[in-house]
Structure 1
Amino acid sequence: MSTTYSHKEKLKSEKLISQLFLEGKSVSAYPLRMVYLKTTFTDAVKIKAGVSVSKRNFKKAVDRNRIKRLLREAYRLEKDSFFNNMTTQYAFMILYIGKEKPTYTEVEIKMKQLLQKFIEKSTKE
């Protein structure tokens, strides 16, 4: 896997997103929470991921967009080291559930913890 976050890797399907929240399992490393679901895709992508920030906690779109950019960047840089040898396909939604605006270093540390917890939980299944 490369350190890009291409269009094919983004979770866009409304059907898949609703199925993800209905049937998916979750792991969390506060203030991040990941809902994931084992699935199959028609294209040759191992993982499709999306990010979300609650409008309830961050009223201004500027703040939500900034946090989403931080989440995507941290995910983009860390996914290569965690998912390089993965064979099954997953759909992810990474949620920011905190109430304060984070810095990039906080998001990066928590993203590593979150992905590590996911790897540990998914290997047990």
Structure 2
Amino acid sequence: MKTTFSKTERLKSKQLIDKLFYDGKSVSQFPLKLIYLKTEFNDGSVLKTGVSVSKRLFKNAVDRNRIKRLLREAFRLNKAEYFNNSSTSYAFMILYISNDGATFEVINENMKRLLNKFKEKTSEV
């Protein structure tokens, strides 16, 4: 799996996002929360991922967009390590649930822990 975050890997379907929040399971590693759903995609993708930062916690769009960029970058760098040999398709939504800003190092470290928790939880099933 390449370390890119292409257009086909982005979660954009409103129906899939609604289904993800309704039927999905979650795992948390403060300040991140991952909501995931096992699903099939028509375009052959293994993962589709979206990121979200609450407007209630970050009033300024500049701050929200910065954290979303950091979340996407941390996921992009770590996804190959965790999903390289995965044949199961998942839809992900990564939420930032803290009300204070963070550095890339903090987000990246917590992203690794979050993805480890996800792998442990899905390997049990």
Residue 63 in 1 paired to residue 63 in 2? yes
Distance 1:74 1:96 in 2: 13
Rounded to whole Å, the distance in 2 between the matches of 1:55 and 1:70 is 16
Deviations 1:69-104 (A, max 9, x none): 000000000000000011110000000000100000
In 2, Cα distance between equivalents of 1:109 and 1:88: 25
Q: Distance in 2 between matches of 1:79 and 1:88?
A: 14
- Taking the aligned partners of 1:104 and 1:58, their CA distance within structure 2 comes to 17
- 1:91 is aligned to 2:91: yes
Partner SS state of residue 48, structure 1: strand
Give 3-state SS (helix, strand or coil) of 2:28's partner.
strand
- Percentage identity across aligned positions? 58
Q: Structure 2: 5+ residue runs without aligned partners?
A: none
Q: Give the Å deviation of 1:58.
A: 0.1
**Unmatched 5+ stretches in structure 1:** none
Aligned counterpart, 2:47: 47
1:26 is matched with which residue?
26
One-letter code aligned to 1:41: F
**What SS does the aligned partner of 1:21 have?**
helix
Per-residue displacement from partner, 1:3-30 (whole Å, max 9, x unpaired)?
A: 0000000000000000000000000000
Matched to 2:31, the amino acid is P
1:100 counterpart residue number: 100
> Which residue of structure 2 aligns with residue 123 of structure 1?
123
3-state DSSP of counterpart to 1:3: coil
User: How many residues are matched?
Assistant: 125
Distance 1:49 1:106 in 2: 20
SS at match of 1:120: helix
Hey, what's the Cα distance between the residues in 2 that align with 1:108 and 1:98? 15
Deviation at 1:119, TM superposition (A): 0.5
Give, in angstroms, the shift of residue 44 of structure 1.
Answer: 1.4
Q: CA RMSD in A?
A: 0.4
